[in-house]
Amino acid sequence: MPGRTGVDAYTDSMRRDVADLCDELVKNLGATVVASITGMRRTTPYRWASRTATPGAETETRLRLTYRVWRMLADAEGKSVALAWFVGSNPRLGEVTPVTAIREQRDADVIGAALAFIRDVPSA
């Protein structure tokens, strides 16, 4: 059920330790995607996951949103579809990728686009 999945994903994204959350993102989206979302170097997400560095508050917010949306999509559509969704141009986001929209801190737009995708709502 998409509504429940969204609540579970939100709760998990807030309760999960940021290092564990980052490790999960690196394993499923790849360090390059995570680095692009946060505007950091490609090696930095590995450092966060291994606890040798800590992301700043703004970066942590982006990581938590990314995990929340990834979890919603992975639960509803599978991990490979979730990855494709993150890196593909999205008509609900003005034909930019969700990676770019998260980096630009368009949180509500990204969540809305993910929910519309899960619920299979046609774009305008």
Using a pLDDT cut of 90, give the percent of the chain over it. Answer: 87
Does 112 map to a domain? yes
- DSSP assignment of 75-108, as one string? HHH-HHHHHHHHHS-BGGGTTB-HHHHHHTT-HH
Does 124 map to a domain? no
Task: Give me the mean pLDDT over the 85-89 stretch.
Answer: 97
Task: Give me the mean pLDDT over the 35-42 stretch.
Answer: 96
- Number of domains within the chain: 1
pLDDT tens digits, residue range 51-85? 999 999 999 999 999 999 999 999 999 999 999 99
* Residues forming beta bridges with residue 96, ordered by sequence position: 90
State the residue range of the domain holding 39: 2-119
Does 99 map to a domain? yes
pTM of the complete model: 0.90
Answer whether 76's CB lies under 8 Å from 5's CB.
yes
Confidence band of 7 (pLDDT split at 50, 70, 90): confident
